[in-house]
Chains A and B, each alone.
Chain A
Amino acid sequence: MLQALRGALAAFRRTPVLVVISILAVSLSLFVFGLFALTAFNIRGALSEIEERVEIVAYLSDDATAEEAGRAEVEIRDHTQVLDVRYVSKTEALAIAGRELPEFREVFSGLDANPLPASYEIRLRPGYRTPEVVEAVTAQVIAYPFVEEADYGRDWVARLVSLQRIAAGATVIIGGAFAAVAGIIIATAVRIAVAARREEIEIMRLVGATDGFIRRPFLIEGWLTGLIGGLIAAFLTYLAHRFVSATLMEINWLPAEWLMLAVLAGSAYGLLTSAFAVRRHLRGL
């Protein structure tokens, strides 16, 4: 192991330009992938923030008793799809309207009776904010005799869902394409690095090196290339994030687990491609 590590270091000493170029190629291709991940992550974040606002509003008739309304609230809250139910009384509704629509404050205060109905504001659990579930819950709520009307932004929810689908599809396709390009670049870099030492491999075999002995320094080198390239790419992506946040708009940084996973995947991939690249040179006796 120690000897293999020394071998990898010796390779760096002998062909520093090649090693630096392959690490650069790996970092840059992973950096492009990182930029994409940053974009995708923020679009997803923005969409799920919008999704939080998916809400069903059920308006109660004025003759609903407090007891009926209380019981219904408990029942609705019991649905597995429902995150929470907020009861907004007539008085509260008026207060909110007065606060949010100052133009009408005069009109409202001039009335003797409160024209606004009491309502439930029902929010759904994540994962259930789809047109189908919203529709179903709305239907159940409207079934109460004292519920006059239930409403949600039908078109809006549908559009949000299709937007999310497009984003998810684009993430998979574009992300997959970027990952494939990065993968090919890394594999090529590793292959060139191995091919540059073809002669060395041949002579190693000539003097009786075992396959494992020949392979080891290359595996370590591939692993290190992936690891160092991944760390550099993560750092570059972070700089890009800082830059965009400072100049264009505030964006979120990627979760630490994503980064760790990506760097780990990069180093594992480097190791794997090395194994494949060396295998070509170990064919035959």
Chain B
Amino acid sequence: MIKLTGVSKVYPRTGYALRNVNLHVPKGSFVFLTGHSGAGKSTILRLIQMAELPTEGELRVSGTSSARLRRSDVPKLRRKMGMAFQDFRLLKDRTAEENVAFALEVTGARRSLIRQRAARLLGKVGLAARGQAFPEELSGGEKQRVAIARALANEPFILLADEPTGNLDERASRGILDLFREINANGMTVVMATHDLELVRRHPSYRVVELSAGEVVFDSAGTVREEAG
């Protein structure tokens, strides 16, 4: 599914963002990536999206290797992963439904299907009634739901979320987590970066991978040594 082998990422100006990371995320699992600010959580997620390539080591995502990546592989891979961010990244000049439809349009899906699909996805995240609302007319929690509906549009196998609750209050955060749990229960892999330890503690059954200064310092699945050795 997702496998990082000896992955390091060096930025020319700031040095090591990740150092020799070994991580295996099996299909269907739920992983919290935690760690202090600057620990490298976002960097791992960007590498998994193949938005950047590792400086050393290899990353495999659903059969695609970072070592043999062609530019044309990237869009195909991105359609297989859904992404959500702290800042939602919705288009302000489009309605909720159009924002979801956007992810379907780029795949060249039939127009008659897109509207219907978008409406159904919004229903799935509990926003059936807000399809015609623009982002500025939605609360933070609702915006994140729209973003998640968009992330799910192309039926990805994995959902990557970078601090999706970072801008949300406690209640909204819990709602998003419930949604993730439901998505995960349907078989989708979820990797979520967060520094909200309270939230992590509330879900003890999920795997926790802690990063510090670019290194994996704790893995509740206990695979750190195993993979390194």
Contact = CB atoms under 8 A, between A and B. Distances in A.
Given A14-B93, A205-B78, A285-B53, A210 B105 contact: no
Nearest to A202: B89
Interface in A157-211: 199-200, 202-211
A209 B74 contact: no
A12 interface: no
A284 B69 CA distance: 13
B50 A285 contact: yes
Interface residues of B, number: 27
Interface string A248-285: 00000000000000000000000000000000000011
B78 A211 contact: no
Contact of B150 (A14, A207, A284): A207
Given A211-B71, A285-B52, A285-B74, A206 B89 contact: yes
- Say what secondary structure dominates the interface of chain A: helix
B91 A206 contact: no
Contacts of A205: 75, 78
Contacts of B76: 208
A199 B74 CA distance: 19
B79 interface: yes
Nearest to A7: B105
B103 interface: yes
A213 interface: yes
A166 to B, nearest CB: 53
A208 B78 contact: yes
Interface residues of A, number: 17
Counting chain A CB atoms within 10 Å of each CB, which of B72, B74, B75, B93 scores highest? B75
B134 interface: no
Contact of B71 (A3, A207, A213, A285): A285
B106 interface: yes
B107 to A, nearest CB: 7
Given A3-B108, A285-B51, A206 B78 contact: yes
Interface of A: 3, 14, 199-200, 202-211, 213, 284-285
Interface of B: 49-53, 69, 71-72, 74-79, 83, 89, 91, 93, 102-103, 105-108, 150, 153-154
Ranked nearest first, the 7 interchain pairs of A and B with the lowest CB-CB distance are A208-B78, A209-B106, A208-B79, A207-B103, A208-B75, A210-B75, A14-B93
